[in-house]
């Protein structure tokens, strides 16, 4: 949902737009254009957003409630009126002690970071056979972890496709395709575009990619066991970050075109 477009001026009282969910997060895009995006986040008391990074500079302005922001290891109290600038790629995490609402302003996209190293490419490609063999088991486990630790995201998924295994199967195919073509992302353009459009339809946000990444990496460790060495997990963590940026950038383009 986008409250306004960049084509016309508008004004709003933020308190009138605040809607707290029973649990988890409710977010609304207030305005976006080709360069920036302004969103309203409403977190139910007790909600936590695990540590993640953003590829864009961001500004948080707290409207009401009480919480805590850990920004690059520094604890910052979130209370009404607090203004925080976060540089791109700065690790941060949020905890809502009470119902908490704030605006998040994202600046224009920075130039893409350099892709993964050849060493990372070689390691990820070497895991392709085992990813193919155990792919659906890994993705099924990933969804189990995610729905258990972040139940608020369930609404964005087709649970019937979870039950019959089609969604884990599709994700397993995508993960295997990435492992085999990590050094040729152009060949994955059609797949990325199809998935990105589906993500836009279900209102996937950049802030949710760290959640998926964390759960996917844990699932790989759970399923592969000793084969998931520290070197393998480090390579997959770097590879996932690059893929997440590809999806975030493509989805941002789609959001702008449909606004």
20 is catalytic: no
Which tens digits make up the pLDDT trace of 213-223? 999 999 999 99
DSSP structure string for the chain? -BS--TTS-----HHHH----SSSEEEEEEEE-SS-EEEEEEE-TT-EEEEE--SS-EEEEEEES-EEEEETTEEEEE-TT-EEEE-TT--EEEEESSSEEEEEEE-PPPPPPP---HHHHHHHHHTHHHHHHHHHHHHHHHHHHHHHH-GGGGGGS-HHHHHTTHHHHHHHHHHHHHHHSTT-GGGGHHHHHHHHHHHHHTT--GGGHHHHHHHHHHHHHHHHGGGS-HHHHHHHHHHHHHHHHHHHHHHHHHHHHH-
Q: Residue 219: count other Cβ atoms within 10 Å of its Cβ.
A: 22
- Whether residue 204 has pLDDT greater than 80: yes
The Cα–Cα gap between 167 and 251 comes to 20
Sorted by sequence, the CB contacts under 8 Å of residue 239 that are 6+ apart come out as: 116, 120, 124, 178, 182
For 52-97, the pLDDT digits (tens) are 888 789 999 999 999 999 999 999 999 999 999 999 889 999 999 9
- Sorted by where each begins, the domain ranges of the chain are 14-106, 118-258
Q: What is the pLDDT of residue 163?
A: 86
Per-residue model confidence as pLDDT tens digits over 135-158: 999 999 999 999 999 988 888 888
Q: What is the pLDDT of residues 34-63, one digit of tens each?
A: 778 899 999 999 999 988 888 789 999 999
Q: What was the pLDDT predicted at 6?
A: 60
C-alpha–C-alpha distance, residues 212 and 64, integer Å: 28
Rounded to 10 degrees, the C-alpha dihedral 29/32/35/38 comes to -40
Does residue 113 have a pLDDT over 80? no
100 — pLDDT class (breaks 50, 70, 90) = very high
* Cα–Cα distance, 243 to 213 (Å, whole number): 10
pLDDT score, position 3: 67
CATH of domain 118-258: 1.10.490.10
> Which residue among 207, 214, 245, 251 is the active-site one?
251
Q: Does residue 209 carry a catalytic annotation? A: yes
How high is the pLDDT of residue 124? 95
The architecture (CATH level 2) of 14-106 comes to Sandwich (2.60)
**Residue 258 banded pLDDT, cuts 50, 70, 90:** low
What's the mean pLDDT when you consider all of the chain?
89
Catalytic residue among 20, 176, 209, 240: 209
């Amino acid at each position: 949902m986008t409250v306004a477009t960049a084509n016309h001026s508008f004004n709003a009282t933020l308190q009138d737009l605040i809607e707290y969910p029973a649990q988890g997060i409710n977010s609304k895009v207030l305005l976006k254009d080709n360069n920036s995006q302004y969103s309203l986040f409403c977190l139910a008391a007790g909600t936590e957003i695990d540590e993640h990074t953003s590829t864009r500079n961001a500004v948080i302005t707290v409207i009401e409630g009480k919480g805590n922001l850990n920004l690059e290891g520094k604890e910052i109290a979130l209370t009404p009126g607090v203004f925080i600038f976060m540089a791109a790629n700065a690790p941060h995490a949020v905890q809502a002690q009470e119902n908490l609402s704030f605006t998040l302003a994202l600046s224009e996209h920075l130039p893409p970071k350099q892709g993964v190293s050849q060493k990372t490419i070689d390691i990820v490609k070497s895991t392709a056979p085992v990813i193919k063999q155990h792919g659906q088991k890994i993705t099924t486990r990933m969804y189990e972890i995610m729905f258990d630790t972040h139940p608020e995201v369930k609404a964005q998924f087709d649970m019937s496709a979870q039950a019959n295994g089609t969604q884990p199967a599709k994700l397993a195919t995508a993960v295997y395709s990435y492992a085999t073509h990590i050094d040729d992302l152009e060949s994955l353009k059609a797949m990325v575009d199809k998935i990105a459009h589906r993500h836009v339809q279900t209102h996937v946000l950049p802030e949710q990619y760290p959640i998926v990444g964390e759960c996917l990496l844990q699932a790989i460790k759970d399923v592969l066991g000793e084969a998931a060495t520290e070197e393998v997990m480090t390579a997959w963590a770097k590879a996932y970050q690059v893929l997440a940026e590809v999806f975030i950038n493509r989805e941002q383009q789609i959001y702008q075109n449909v606004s």
